[in-house]
Structure 1
Amino acid sequence: MRDDTTAEENSAARFNRQHPIGTPVVAYPGFRPEDDPTAERIETTTRSRATLLGGHTDVVWVHGHDACIALTHIDVVDTTEAVS
């Protein structure tokens, strides 16, 4: 059996397996804060599955933003809290 998946498709598929629609995330629509300390930051949730855009960029749509955002600009929020 031939495997025609690309690294980008594997990245989107991996994201989708680990994070269902509605996952809390912090999204950076422009630059990541490491690259621009004044970068826009959106605390939100995903509203779509991750997909491959244009054959080269893994993206996801989030609530509160009108365009898709590259997975490289998405940080999943860890919602597990230690119980004491």
Structure 2
Amino acid sequence: MSPITISFYTKKHCPLCDKAHMILKELQEEMPLEIRKIDIYQSDELIEKYGLMIPVIAAEGEELQYGQINKESLRKRLLTINK
């Protein structure tokens, strides 16, 4: 099983982002994930795109989940990507 590269869009001082990162770390123990943490404040374009949605978890060019992250549904989505 090859690693799935996750783009994790986040910002500082974001409790939802902290929770989402913890969920990603837990899932990383179950399957090979490469987590790329991206602070949306590094780019005006990212702030405009994701400012109201963060945290955002994307893989394979697709936004998988945003806001309140659900571990079980995210796990299912990741398993379908890695088939």
Q: Identify the TM-score tier after normalising by the shorter chain.
A: 0.3 to 0.5
Q: TM-score, normalised by structure 2?
A: 0.34
Q: Return the structure number with greater relative CO, CA threshold 8 A, min gap 6.
A: 2
Larger radius of gyration: 1
Q: TM-score, normalised by structure 1?
A: 0.34
